[in-house]
A and B are shown apart, each in its own frame.
Chain A
């Protein structure tokens, strides 16, 4: 993998994001929604605790719809407009293109997340929060967004229709979110041995995100997100190889 090629692809993607209203709409919606959830549903003031738990608690659900919205266009649009042919006949590999596009989208989501910093300042003004926990939660949130983004990117290569890509991504991300909840686990509990059941529960974004956002960045959680991202990027590469010319 030639990093210079990855960077070239990444830069082109980022230029493309900010050349259209997509980037600005996404950032504004993300900021508005995350604040609304924090203050109205999360009861930020009423709790009278100086932390960002009510802010981060809703991130998985916000990402569930917003991250597939970023990911859906990654390959579906390239295939629809035929630019995939331009891109993949340049002297670079499919892997470089897949990684470059993914990193650009991930940085973009990261930027939206970083722009929520006023709430961090607010909580520091109001009280004395544990800033270590907050940093960990930000890292966990960004990793979870990366996982969902890798899923969305791979599914975006399956079709040239962005709406189909969006719906598929929401469904698969939903599955990955919920696999730790009793609602899903009860389905398996009756017949699955405990070892496998733990495996299913461990696939959950929520379990790992919650564990990081308590302030403990455990190596196992990092490895989990790295594996999820790696797996789906590999899937993205394979799907693209098979479907690029359809």
Chain B
């Protein structure tokens, strides 16, 4: 189990992380969401023992990150922000160094290096100097060094940043593959990633933990949760008819699109479908809205700023 207990960090007068507490069990992919400078990376730096908290602490399977730091760090694989690596080394030299530092030797060391390289498909660049690699490859080398010792806890700061869509998919696949028996914490500002990857999401802004929920749970906070959007020829007329439905609370017209918000009585989608059929409208598009994460994100983080 990974636990943060009242983690707080000040830089001078700036309160970067303000009293954050949570517990994560294996099998969870936890996503840190938040604007830039919200305290996501600072929190991760404290969880990995790099940065000492001003107050509070973190615990990794019973090892306190302040008092029992080396033991705690043994259980963590970490991809720091921007995937910093020793540019003058080759990929193979770097992974061997990490394997040495993780306490592997001989055949076991070679096996670990080969395994991590294979999982991130680094075979073709093993003897290349890291500084000559593309951004995507560097990120993958960073991930390879993090998973090399098969740690029970993975802390990945923006693991897909700078990757092209195919590489993003590949990294997400890797994370999903490792998810069942590990604790994985990722930070991201890509909202779709939370939906695609995380079983739990935390919204952090101005150093404070503002929401801690499943992605589905966060969606229910959206104004658009269970709303219906349709694209019709005469949106104004359609809007006035839709507004009279018992199931509708409110109707909004934007760019020839009509969005109907649920009142909570009955099934709005079915009611709208029936009305379309009865009125014989030409509908180009009809869409059920599960909720919009970007809107939830904006609402929560803006409330904080206000």
Residues of A participating in the B interface, judged by any CB pair closer than 8 Å: 4-5, 8-9, 11-12, 15-16, 19-20, 81-83, 85-86, 88-93, 244-245
> Closest chain A residue to B84 by CB distance?
A82
B70 proximity list for chain A (CB < 8 A): 91-93
B10 within 8 A of A: no
A245 proximity list for chain B (CB < 8 A): 45, 50-51
B297 within 8 A of A: no
Assess A90 versus B49: contact at CB under 8 Å? Given A82-B82, A85-B80.
no
A sample of 4 more A-B contacts (CB under 8 A), given A12-B97, A82-B80, is A4-B103, A89-B73, A91-B102, A91-B103
Closest CB of chain B to A97's CB: distance in Å? 10
B50 proximity list for chain A (CB < 8 A): 85, 88-89, 244-245
> Closest chain A residue to B90 by CB distance?
A19
Assess A12 versus B86: contact at CB under 8 Å? Given A88-B50, A91-B70.
yes
Q: Are B76 and A89 in contact (CB under 8 A)?
A: yes
B98 within 8 A of A: yes
Assess A8 versus B100: contact at CB under 8 Å? Given A89-B76, A91-B74, A245-B50.
yes
B101 within 8 A of A: yes
Q: Are B45 and A85 in contact (CB under 8 A)?
A: yes
A19 proximity list for chain B (CB < 8 A): 88-90, 93, 129
How many B residues, CB 8 Å from partner?
Answer: 30
B301 within 8 A of A: no
Q: How far is the CA of A82 from the CA of B85 in the complex (A)?
A: 8
What 1/0 flags go to B67-100 for Cβ under 8 Å of A? 0001101101010111011111110010001101
> Closest chain B residue to A8 by CB distance?
B100
B48 within 8 A of A: yes
A16 proximity list for chain B (CB < 8 A): 86, 88-89
Q: How far is the CA of A5 from the CA of B86 in the complex (A)?
A: 18
A93 proximity list for chain B (CB < 8 A): 70
B188 within 8 A of A: no
Q: Are B87 and A89 in contact (CB under 8 A)?
A: no
The CB with the most chain B CB atoms within 10 A, among A16, A86, A93, is that of A86
The residue that B84 contacts in the complex, of A11, A15, A85, A91, with Cβ under 8 A, is A85
B57 proximity list for chain A (CB < 8 A): none
Closest CB of chain B to A141's CB: distance in Å? 28
The residue that A91 contacts in the complex, of B73, B85, B89, B97, with Cβ under 8 A, is B73
Q: How far is the CA of A12 from the CA of B227 in the complex (A)?
A: 58
B160 within 8 A of A: no
Q: Are B88 and A90 in contact (CB under 8 A)?
A: no
B145 within 8 A of A: yes
The B27-56 residues at the A interface (CB cut-off 8 A) are 45, 48-51
Q: How far is the CA of A4 from the CA of B80 in the complex (A)?
A: 25
Q: How far is the CA of A208 from the CA of B74 in the complex (A)?
A: 44
> Closest chain A residue to B155 by CB distance?
A89
Q: How far is the CA of A9 from the CA of B90 in the complex (A)?
A: 16
A20 proximity list for chain B (CB < 8 A): 88
Q: Are B87 and A90 in contact (CB under 8 A)?
A: no
Q: What would be 24 A-B contacts, judged by CB atoms less than 8 Å apart?
A: A5-B101, A8-B100, A12-B89, A12-B97, A15-B89, A16-B86, A19-B89, A19-B90, A19-B93, A82-B80, A82-B81, A82-B82, A83-B84, A83-B85, A85-B84, A86-B80, A86-B85, A86-B145, A89-B80, A90-B98, A91-B71, A91-B74, A92-B101, A245-B50
